[in-house]
Amino acid sequence: MKVRTIQPGGGCDDPAPVRTKVAARCALLADLHRRLQADGVLSPRVPLDVDYRAYKWGGKCEYRGHHCPVTGRAIVKSVTIKMSAKWMAVASVEDVVHTYLHEVAHAIAGHDAGHGPWWAEWCERLGIEAHERTDVHCPDVMTQLLSLTAQDLK
Ligand SMILES: [Zn+2]
């Protein structure tokens, strides 16, 4: 699947109010999340969460745990996929799904995989290109993200 890059001011062609758009995208991702878990692709222990304040990232895979004092390796206790509501408000639906699947690949590949080949293989299996997304840092996109308040989103 080819995923286009956001154009300045783009991705906002949907005339629906921001709140409606975010709610619809939350519902879409929740459904996708349930299906991936029902199909055994993603662990049922990985929740999907929405952050209404974040603007420095579109999505993230949050690992909680600690580092082994002997080996220094990360010992992961829990994994949560978080999506930024602001990103869901300004990005195209394709980009939102891409961001989500990018994080799913992290959740499956594991903490130590980083953006390496094992993570990239999972991106491929999930049907997305394996690359880091930096659109949230584009000045035009950043301006849109910063203009939104939590009240706009829910
Ligand atoms: Zn990543």
Is 1 part of any domain?
A: no
* Residue 99 alpha carbon to ligand 1 centre in Å: 9
* Residue 134 alpha carbon to ligand 1 centre in Å: 10
Q: What is the pLDDT of residues 38-52, one digit of tens each?
A: 999 999 999 999 999
Is 116 part of any domain?
A: yes
* Residue 130 alpha carbon to ligand 1 centre in Å: 9
pLDDT exceeds cutoff 80 at 79: yes
Give a three-class secondary structure readout of the chain: CCCCCCCCCCCCCCCCCHHHHHHHHHHHHHHHHHHHHHCCCCCCCCCEEEECCCCCCCEEEEEEEEECCCCCCEEEEEEEEEEEHHHHHHCCHHHHHHHHHHHHHHHHHCHHHCCCHHHHHHHHHCCCCCCCCCHHHCHHHHHHHHHCCHHHHC
Cα separation, 94 vs 82, in Å, equals 17
* Residue 106 alpha carbon to ligand 1 centre in Å: 7
Is 69 part of any domain?
A: yes
Domain containing 127: what range?
13-149
Is 120 part of any domain?
A: yes
Q: How many structural domains are present in the chain?
A: 1
Q: How confident is the model at residue 151 (pLDDT cuts 50, 70, 90)?
A: confident
Structure tokens at 134: 């930096």
Q: What is the pLDDT of residues 57-76, one digit of tens each?
A: 999 999 999 888 999 888 88
Q: Residue 22: beta bridge partners?
A: none
